[in-house]
Amino acid sequence: MTAAHHFFSYFPQFHPDPINDRAWGEGFTDWDLIRALPESERDGFTPNCGYYDPSAPEYLGRLCEQLKALPLSNAGLMVYHYHFDGVAALSGFETQLLAQPDLGPPFFLCWANETWTKRWVGKPGEVLVEQRHSVNAELVKAHARYLVQFFDLPHYHRVDGRPLFLIYNAQASVTLPRVLSMYREEFAALGQNPLIGACIAYPQPSDQMLPYDFGCEFEPRFFFNSRGASGLAHFAARLKMHFPKLFEWLGTQRDRMRHQEGGGSFAYRDYLEALTNGSIEKALRISAGSLPLMRSAFLSWNNQPRYRDRSTWVNHDGVDEDSLIALRSLRSDGDFPLLINSWNEWSEGAALESGQKEHPLREKFLRMLPASSRQ
């Protein structure tokens, strides 16, 4: 078992992929979104090491050195994994983890199990690749065999001897609970018994967590989405599962309203206050029911490269080093690590990888995080 206590979410969208090629043009990556910004704004969305290709063999060693240089004990990565009913995408970084099994950092996978659309450019009806969660034994077997290759790696993260495997969207499909039970059977046949968790991105009925072993706070989405009425959030959660196309359409109308209003801003000091008064944890516990929780933290968010004048951002007005003490209260249950958003989500303005223009609170934030999940 690895000794890492902090895992950064890791975004592999920085190498070309055939699905993106067809949708956006040959060679497209998220670096293209950064390049499209006015030159005066790019530094805040660009890593200090410049644009890189995470599928390149030499990249993994440099990444490990970056993680070791952080003021954290043995930091690791939660790597987004893209798989759509037998169709793999953005697997270049995963390929390097398998090709260099003795080199990679501590990590675990999060299945980004949503349909890809062009929603972020206001076109949710244009589907790049659909995620059906087909009840198909052969597809499940093939995917399970692929995943077990990672579970078997020496630096794959385990809790109580069981590999962690996270599901991004617990409401992706009404068939998902049945499909997950099929995955559990296949994992068992392959000698594995992973802890399967689900991200909690907004207040939701706890019965939606029944197929899972733990819940994972997903920030900053949970902070953004927990500020309204809980009844409305619960309704949205059920709507997303049973009527996903209607949910997407309503989301697009909301985005268009933001376009007319000029986007939206959230105050980071409100997030810190919600940590201090316990309101975030209380809402999380209600959503997770009796399941253990993996907690999460974030520092910044500004998705201007993706959404331009419909963007959402977090402002840090009135926040200083003393304010960040609230982060010390974050504790995951048991031996679950702390999830940090994010290592390299540059196109969402959330990256904590060293940048050409550093966030003024980056170092203070990293040093304020609790040393481990236990008191």
pLDDT at 218: 98
Tokens, residue 6: 């902090």
pLDDT value for 70: 96
List pLDDT tens digits, range 279-336. 999 999 999 999 999 999 999 999 999 988 889 999 999 999 999 999 999 999 999 9
pLDDT value of residue 260: 42
The whole-number pLDDT of residue 238 equals 56
pLDDT of res. 232: 54
Q: Compute the mean pLDDT over every residue in the chain, rounded to the nearest whole number.
A: 91
Fold of 6-368: TIM Barrel (3.20.20)
The pTM of the full predicted model, rounded to 2 decimals, is 0.91
Sign of the C-alpha dihedral, residues 342, 346, 348, 350?
Answer: positive
pLDDT of residue 264: 87
Q: What is the pLDDT along the chain (375 residues), one digit of tens a residue?
A: 345 799 999 999 999 999 999 999 999 999 999 999 999 999 999 999 999 999 999 999 999 999 999 999 789 999 999 999 999 999 999 999 999 999 999 999 999 999 999 888 777 789 999 999 999 999 999 999 999 999 999 999 999 999 999 999 998 899 999 999 999 999 999 999 999 999 999 999 999 999 999 999 999 999 999 976 455 555 555 555 566 666 665 665 555 554 444 468 999 999 999 999 999 999 999 999 999 999 999 999 999 999 888 899 999 999 999 999 999 999 999 999 999 999 999 999 999 999 999 999 999 999 999 976 554
